[in-house]
Amino acid sequence: MTAQTFSQARSHTEDTGIGSVRYTKQLRNLGLTATVSLFALLVLIAFLMPFAYGLSTAFKDKEMINATANGPIYPAEQSTFTYQGEDLLLFEVSVEDETRTLAMVDRTRRESTFIDPDNPDAGQIVWEGRWQQLDKVWEFSPRYGNFQEAWEGVDFPILLRNTLAIALIGMVGTIVSSIVVAYAFARFPIPGKRILFMILIGTIILPRQVTLVPTYALFAEIGWTGTWLPLIVPHFFANAYNVFLLRQYFLTLPRELDEAAMIDGASPLRILISVIIPQSWPVIVAVGLFHFVFAWNDYFEPLIYLLGKDNLVPIAVGIQDFNFIYDTQPHLIQATSLMALVVPVLIFFFAQRVFMRGVVITGVDK
């Protein structure tokens, strides 16, 4: 073997080894990706199963829920065939080694009589066996009337008005106050600013139940109980979560923009309105959505402060009261729950792009 031939063989061996290592690494990465994707899919399925059950139950009636206990998950009823003015149930019947869809005319414990819906004049077919073991033929049959009944039973327009008023007014208050506080922490040289910010963030660890008694005593003393004021006014004094989120976003914005505006004679308020806010819409939308969903789902505080004021309660309290009354009719309970989900889901669907940008808080290159 010449030196050139030996060199070529050695080079081929090295290339083969490198290719094998790359192939093994690709297989390993593919297996890891497949495992993570499968795990994420299983988590997603487990998370969506209650929603799927609620969606299916909302379109059923009480009889359909009992009938489909061992049948399809979707809203369905057993198919029928009208014969001589009578509705006959359809079953999957094995006749002469062939499974056919037949309509039951008569039934006994040991044998049943059927006719062929495609050719009813062909005569009756006698089938021996227990008819309870036959597979039923189902057809999709949703009950849209559940939503109208729930809409009227829960007085949904009043609850929707109350919830939107509480959520939207509080959202405006929390956005304005949180922007002002976060702007001060992000831009102004306040003495002891770091300590003050840590104290503000420390309030996050206080559970609502700890502050409930003193705040309720305060609101009762000034006569705010039985009104929306305890549910709205506190949000005009900022929130530690929202201030932290906004401050972190404001810190990513170049200070050169502020300095350029100051050279043009802009005041701090003008800088906030004309420079900071236009670049911070993603995080502002995220903060607004956080508060809106929180206010929409809030049950505990409205229940306490609006006790006995049925014309002022939001949708969370109203639906819970409806559930106590109609606890034996799960289809109506699920219908009201789906109607309560419509507004938050639509808002998140249309604002998801801006919302995700605000949560990720991408930096700005100087």
pLDDT confidence bin for 355, thresholds 50/70/90: low
- Is it the case that residue 91 has pLDDT exceeding 80? yes
- Is it the case that residue 74 has pLDDT exceeding 70? yes
Same domain, 112 and 197: no
pLDDT confidence bin for 184, thresholds 50/70/90: very high
- Mean per-residue pLDDT, 70-97: 84
Same domain, 132 and 244: no
Same domain, 130 and 213: no
Same domain, 126 and 190: no
- Is it the case that residue 24 has pLDDT exceeding 80? no
pLDDT confidence bin for 224, thresholds 50/70/90: very high
CB within 8 Å of 232: residues ≥ 6 apart: 166, 169, 170, 173
Out of 102, 136, 170, pick the residue that ends a domain.
Answer: 136
> Could you give the number of structural domains in the chain?
3
pLDDT at 315: 92
For 305, other C-beta atoms within 10 Å of its C-beta total 22
pLDDT confidence bin for 364, thresholds 50/70/90: very low
**Which range marks the domain in which residue 34 is found?**
1-58
- Mean per-residue pLDDT, 172-179: 94
272 secondary structure, DSSP code: I
Tell me which of 357 and 309 has the higher pLDDT.
Answer: 309
What CATH number has the domain bearing residue 282?
A: 1.10.3720.10
Instruction: Report the share of the chain in percent with pLDDT over 70.
Output: 90
Predicted structure pTM score: 0.76
Residue 142 lies in a domain: no
Tell me which of 29 and 182 has the higher pLDDT.
Answer: 182
Out of 27, 58, 89, pick the residue that ends a domain.
Answer: 58
pLDDT confidence bin for 156, thresholds 50/70/90: confident
Angstrom CA distances, 347 to 70, 81, 278, 289, 356, stand at 37, 45, 21, 8, 13
CB within 8 Å of 110: residues ≥ 6 apart: 128, 129, 130
Same domain, 118 and 177: no
Residue 239 lies in a domain: yes
Longest alpha-carbon distance in the chain = 103
CB within 8 Å of 289: residues ≥ 6 apart: 347, 348, 351, 355
